[in-house]
Amino acid sequence: MIPVEKNKEYTVTIENISSDGNGIAHIDGFAVFVPQTAAGDTAEILIVKVLKRFAYGKLLKIITPSPLRCESDCAHYKRCGGCQLRHIKYDAQLEIKKDIIENAMRRIGAFEDFALDGITGMDKPERYRNKMVFPIGRADGKNVCGFYAQRSHSIIPLTDCAIGDEINGRITGAVLEYMNENGVSAYDESSHTGVIRRVFTRKSFCSGEIMVVISANARKLPKREKLIAKLRNISDKIVSVILNINMKRNNLVITDENVTLWGADRISDTLCGIKFMISPQSFFQINPVQTEKLYQKALEYAEIDNGMSVMDIYCGIGTISLCAAKLAKRVIGVEIVAKAIADAKENAENNGIQNAEFYADSAGNLVPRLIARGETPDIVILDPPRKGSDDATLAAIVKAMPKRIVYVSCNPSTLARDARCLADNGYTIEKSQAFDLFPHTMHVETVLLMSRADNGSVEKA
């Protein structure tokens, strides 16, 4: 028998935090997940959903607060859901993330004694994002801009977000003014009518340059000069205004079709002494302060010298590849997104780096072919998306027998799975460090060093 009922209230004690940021309680041994709670809270909850093995509860009242709890400085976080941990002290957030990584490595990867060497947090865990996306819609009969409420596409109107730059509120305000003054409609998902879908901002932390991208269900903006004038009046740091055309029924944040309305079509930023040109579609880590620390650790683990070859798999626009190329004899970067590879090649040229080659194809297709034709990297750097790597890529890496594999992961579960595959093929975890690139959220990055046995006994796949 399931010991809880939907729409019934219970008093619970929160025991831990799940990997998606919910508090975990038990009622007669039955797990209940409760958002916006902290380990140690005693709380009154309402059961809102019951499944076979667990239930979800809604927080009604904190009876006894956990010592880990703090007052949120954001009026919207309970509805927004973007910052799942904003009610928890920052030091405790880091411990939660550390525990989640270690638990995944032990439970999924079967590394029984795994422990991180540490987790690197931020001195100032606010205003860290260099990219923000604000949907636009209608609410209470007027145009609004903000964030989607949890598990919905209802927009919570807001004028600021504490993890993004303060200028974003002025930018979104200017867009709404332009819409209201010129009769430009907000996009409506249900009817596929209206014009403005989203406001997308990028900021260079190095130069301060700002790009504003307007996603629209149209090929032209009415009276676009009015919008451009409003944006230019905000700050001379706004150097790029771009129209991103999306006339399909989908929820893509950004498409491949851009029209530069004013200024530059890209902005520049610098990481680890290398200049990168960033377009609207470019993948560029959203927290440059922490990204530099992460990349420095990855390169430290790699121990690259000028006689070594490096293969950077899932290389994006070449951020880690070009950092490694300053140390290595030769670097090969692999990435499925052709536009990212074009950017990587241009970034190499702009920085005078001639020992880096880039190829556009899926890792599963290309890496085995590269290995089969005789590419034998001394070092492999893996930085896959959340789904992790794939069997074909991992088998090819094992066949190439690199001395060291540096795995940069944004998902502890897939990191643990892939690390187990590599461990079963003769690689040993030597070092590990986590980096908090996303304070107040459940996301975390991990850098793992795996080395091949010195006796070279790894069997070829």
Model pLDDT, residue 454: 63
pLDDT of residue 458: 39
pLDDT recorded at residue 128: 96
Q: 92 pLDDT band (50/70/90 cuts)?
A: very high
State residue 78's pLDDT score: 85
Alpha-carbon distance 191 to 199, whole Å? 20
Residues present in the chain in total: 461
* CA separation for the pair 125, 90 (Å, rounded): 8
Mean pLDDT value of segment 11-29? 96
One-letter amino acid for residue 101 of the chain? I
**Tokens of residue 297, six digits:** 């650790």
The pLDDT value recorded for residue 77 is: 85
Query: What is the pLDDT, as a whole number, of residue 168?
Result: 97
> What is the pLDDT, as a whole number, of residue 47?
98
H helices of 288-410, in order, are: 288-302, 319-325, 338-350, 363-372, 391-400
Minimum mean pLDDT among 168-172, 213-217, 250-254: which range? 250-254
DSSP state of 193: B
Task: Give, in order, the Cα–Cα distances in Å from 418 to each of 101, 182, 279, 391, 452.
Answer: 14, 53, 31, 9, 15
Is 193 a residue whose pLDDT tops 60? Answer: yes
Mean pLDDT confidence for 18-24: 95
Local confidence band at 198 (pLDDT 50, 70, 90 cut-offs): very high
Q: Which residue has the higher pLDDT, 458 or 67?
A: 67
**Distance (Å, whole) CA 360 – CA 365:** 10
Q: What is the mean pLDDT of residues 251-276?
A: 94
Q: How many CB atoms lie within 10 A of CB 112?
A: 7
160 has pLDDT over 90: no
Mean pLDDT of all residues in 126-147: 94
- State the residue for tokens 């009610």: 87
Of 352 and 82, the structure prediction assigns the larger pLDDT to 352
Evaluate whether 208 touches 215 at the Cβ level (below 8 Å): no
- Domain borders along the chain are 9-69, 131-271, 287-452
Return d(Cα 39, Cα 84) in angstroms, integer.
14
Higher-confidence residue: 444 or 279? 444
Digit-coded pLDDT (tens) for 329-344: 999 999 999 989 999 9
CATH number of the domain located at residue range(s) 131-271 in this protein: 2.40.50.1070
pLDDT at 283 over 50: yes
Q: Does residue 2 surpass a pLDDT of 90?
A: yes
Q: Point out the residues that are catalytic.
A: 410
> Do residues 443 and 437 touch, judged by C-beta distance below 8 A?
yes
pLDDT for 79: 85
Per the CB < 8 A criterion, the answer to whether 6 and 47 are in contact is yes
Rounded to 10 degrees, the C-alpha dihedral 257/258/259/264 comes to -160
Q: What is the tens place of the pLDDT at every residue in 38-70? A: 999 999 999 999 999 999 999 999 999 999 999
What is the share, in percent, of the chain residues with pLDDT greater than 90?
89
On the question of pLDDT at 433 being above 90, the answer is yes
Reply yes or no on domain 9-69 having CATH 2.40.50.140.
Answer: yes
Q: Is the pLDDT of residue 460 over 60?
A: no
pLDDT at residue 409 above 90? yes
Task: For residue range 356-407, list pLDDT tens digits in order.
Answer: 999 999 999 999 999 999 999 999 999 999 999 999 999 999 999 999 999 9
Q: Per-residue pLDDT averaged across 433-451, rounded? A: 97
CATH topology identical between 9-69 and 131-271: yes
Buried b (16+ CB within 10 A) or exposed e, 398-422: bbbbbebbbbbbbbbbbbbbbbebb
Mean pLDDT of the chain: 95
Alpha helix locations (H) across 157-284? Answer: 167-182, 224-234
Ramachandran sector of residue 383 (left: φ over 0; alpha: ψ -120 to 50; beta: rest): beta
Q: Is the pTM of this model over 0.85?
A: yes
E strands in 140-235: 142-148, 155-157, 196-203, 210-216
How confident is the model over 217-237, as a mean pLDDT? Answer: 97
Q: Kindly tell me if the per-residue pLDDT of 82 is higher than 90.
A: no
Architecture of domain 287-452 in this structure: 3-Layer(aba) Sandwich (3.40)
Give the percent of the chain with pLDDT over 70. Answer: 98
| Cα–Cα distance, 63 to 42 (Å, whole number) | 5
Residue 241 has pLDDT above 80, yes or no: yes
* pLDDT value, residue 34: 97
**What per-residue confidence (pLDDT) applies to 419?**
98
Nearest to 158 by CA among 45, 77, 44, 42: 77
Amino acid at 331: V
Confidence of residue 455 (pLDDT cuts 50, 70, 90): very low
Question: What is the spatial distance between Cα 281 and Cα 287, in angstroms, rounded to a whole number?
Answer: 17
